[in-house]
Amino acid sequence: MSTSLRIKLTFSTGLITAVLLALITVLFMYTNVSPSAHQLLRSATLLEHPRALTSFTLVDHHNKPFTQVDLQGKWHLLAYGFLNCADICPTTLMLLNRLQLRLQAEGQYQDIHLLFYTIDPGRDTVERLAEYVPFFGANILGLKAAEAQLVSGASKQFEHELGIRVKIETTRGEQDSYKVSHGVALYLIDPQGRLHAVFKPSVDPFGISHFNHEDLYHDYVLIRKLA
């Protein structure tokens, strides 16, 4: 084989190899964007198919109706709990306010609306919500089930669709004395009024649940970039 032919064959083989490697790299990039992004989330679960919420009517702490229409066109982050909660609920409300302040300071997806839904509507009146919730942040809106939804049980549908977990233990013979316990989660609702992602807390060695600010900020910004 002549020297010139050998050089041509070597050049052609090298060129083909380079082209194949480039194609493989491009294919890898495009087929792995979604899985790698999901793997980068620290505490959130991004729903593959955002879940639409059934029609509901709540009351905010200004004593105004709040329905699924109010979710349209805006991103919302909803926490839940009750006003007599001694630890996780106030801590979570402070965390929400801190998240919004940081997003505003850094100019990162600051169009987020914060909601706090009470699971104890019997004791947590509109007046109590109006006094309690704004203490943790002027931009947090308190919500509770409307009276009609309590009677019909429709508020349970709202809680079920989000995945809100509540347990109420009554004390025998004492109608107003009961213990409320609940799960811990934050729900990100997209501008179409659909459940878009769920944020779960960390659990320390003592079994206490708490949200990590850095993880929440990281995951929220990443999810908004992917949206």
Cβ contacts of 103 within 8 Å, gap of 6 or more: 109, 110, 112, 217, 220
Tell me how far apart the alpha carbons of residues 119 and 66 are, in angstroms, rounded to a whole number. 16
182 annotated ligand-binding residue: yes
The pair of three-digit structure tokens given for residue 113, joined into one six-digit string = 């609306």
Radius of gyration, alpha carbons of the chain: 25
113 annotated ligand-binding residue: no
Tell me how far apart the alpha carbons of residues 159 and 163 are, in angstroms, rounded to a whole number. 6
Identify whether the C-beta of residue 215 lies closer than 8 Å to the C-beta of residue 40.
no
* Strand, coil or helix: 98: helix
Q: Following CA atoms 168, 78, 97, 192 in sequence, which dihedral angle do they give, to the nearest 10 degrees?
A: -170
CA distances from 224 to 94, 111, 188 (A): 22, 11, 10
Q: Which amino acid is at 35?
A: P
Task: Tell me the binding residues for Cu cation.
Answer: 85, 89, 182
Binding-site positions: 85, 89, 182
